[in-house]
Amino acid sequence: MVFASLEFLTLFLPLFFLAYLLTPQRGRNFTLLVGSWVFFTWWTPRYLVLLIALTTLAFVAALAIERCRSELWRTRIMALAITLNLLCLCWYKYANMLVLSLLELLHHQGVAIPAGFAWESVALPIGLSFTVLHAISYLVDVRRGVVRAQTSFIAFSAYMAMFGHLIAGPIVRYKVIEKELRERQFHPHDFAMGVRRFMVGFSMKVLIADTLSPLVAQIFSTTSPSFVDAWSGCIAYTLQLYFDFAGYSAMAIGLGLMLGFYFQENFNQPYLASSIQDFWRRWHMTLSSWLRDYLYISLGGSRGGNFFTYRNLMLTMAIGGLWHGGESWNFLIWGIIHGTALCVERVCTQRGLSLPDPLARGLTLLTVMLAWTVFRADGFAAACSMWGGQFGLHGWGLSDTLALSLTPVIKWTVVVGIVCVIYPAFPWYRTGVPGFRTEWWRSSWKNYWPVLTFAYALAVLSGQSVRPFLYFQF
C-alpha cells in the first residue's frame, strides 16, 4: 500500500483519521502507533517483529545511557546499540551484494563453487534504512544531552513507526517532534494546509513521475543508446526522481500537519543549485544534515587540515551513497562522484576561483545529471553504456524506438516538469506576474489549483497500475 493508491486514499486513510479524531488527546499516540503498525504490516507483516525489536533496543539503550553515571559506559552503551542497528542494516541491505560479488570474483579466478551451494536472496524490509537512521540520531542526541530519553514506550514507538515518513523520509529527528509527541492539538488551518501539501505531492507523483517511468525504464534498458536517446533518458529520470521523491516528501509533510506534527522541509529547488555543496543544501535536506551532524562531524569535519577534510568529505559521501542501495556498487560510485565534486569545489574556493553564476548553475546540473546516470543504471556496465551515449560514442540521432515512445503526453509531461523546476528562478515567482493585478484571482488560483490537479491525478490513477515510490528500494 502506497500513498498514491486508491486503497490508501479510500480505505486506510479515512478509517485511520476517523479513529484518530475520535481518540482522546492522551491516547492519540497509541492510535498513531497501531495505525502505523497496520500500515507497515500491510507491506511486510513478517518484519513487524524486527521493527519492534529495533524500537525496543533504542528505547532501552537511551534510558540506560541517561541513567548511567559513567561517561565511558554511556558511550559504550550507545556504541553497542548503534552497532547492533548497523549490523542488522548491513545484513538485510548488503548481504546479497557482497555474496554475489564474491561468487563472481571466485568465478573469474577459476575457483569452483560447490554444486550444492545456493544463495537465497535476502529481502530488504521496507523502511529499514530510515528506521536505523532515526534510531542512531536519537541515541547520539541522548548521549550528547541534546534530548532527554523518552520514558513512554508508546510515544517512542509512535515516533519510530510513524507511517507518514517511515518508508522514505524525510528523516525526522526526535528533537524536532519531541514537544508534539507530548501534546498536540487539532488545528483546522494546519489540517487544511496538510491536505493541500498532500494533494500537491500526490499530483507530482502521479502526473509527472509515474508518466515518465516507462520512458526511463525503456531507455536505461537500451544496450547502446545514441546521444539523443541517452540524454532523453537522463533528463526524464532527473525529472522523475525529483517529482517522485519530492512528491513523497510533500505527502509525508502534509500527513504530519494533519496529525499535528511539523516536519522539516526536504527539498528546496535543488536543480537551481549553484554548486554541489549548494545542491546538498537543497536535495534531501534531512539526509544531508544527518550525514553532516552524525557522520562528517564525528569523523572530524574540517578540523585537522585539508587532507583530513577531503578524506572526511569523501568518506561521508561514499557512505551516503552506499546507504542508498545494496544491490549494486553503482551507489557507492555515485557517492564518490559527489564527494570528488565537493573536494574540487573546496580547492577552487580556497584558491579564489569561481565561475559566472549561470555557468556555475549549468555545470552543477550537468554534474548532477551525469551522476544520476550511474545512480539509475542497472550495473556499472549499463552506466558506462549510458555515459558512452551521452558523449556521442553510439551515434547522435533519435532512434526509431524512442521516436515511437515520445508520445504527446510524454513530451508535454517533460515540458511541464521542466517549467515547474525552473519557474522559481524567475523574479515573479514570489512577486507575481508583472501586470497581473487581480489579487482575488491570484489567491483563488493558489487555493484551488491543488484540488483540480488532485482530482485529475485521481482520474489518471484509476486507469493505471500503482507504481511504488523510487526511494522505497532504499
Tell me the catalytic residues: 324
Q: Is the dihedral of CA 135, 138, 144, 145 positive or negative?
A: negative
Q: Which three cell numbers stand for residue 341?
A: 565534486
CA distances from 86 to 93, 126, 395 (A): 10, 16, 45
CB burial class (10 A; 0-12, 13-18, 19+) of residue 370?
middle
Taking alpha carbons only, the member of 215, 37, 160, 130 closest to residue 471 is: 130
Q: How many CB atoms lie within 10 A of CB 343?
A: 18
The Cα 202–Cα 371 span in angstroms is: 27
- Asked if residues 240 and 418 have their Cβ atoms less than 8 Å apart, the reply is no
Q: Which three cell numbers stand for residue 99?
A: 555474496
Across 403-412, b (16+ Cβ under 10 Å) vs e yields eeeeeeebee
The Cα 333–Cα 374 span in angstroms is: 7
- Asked if residues 386 and 225 have their Cβ atoms less than 8 Å apart, the reply is yes
CA distances from 450 to 10, 358, 409 (A): 19, 32, 20
- Asked if residues 335 and 313 have their Cβ atoms less than 8 Å apart, the reply is no
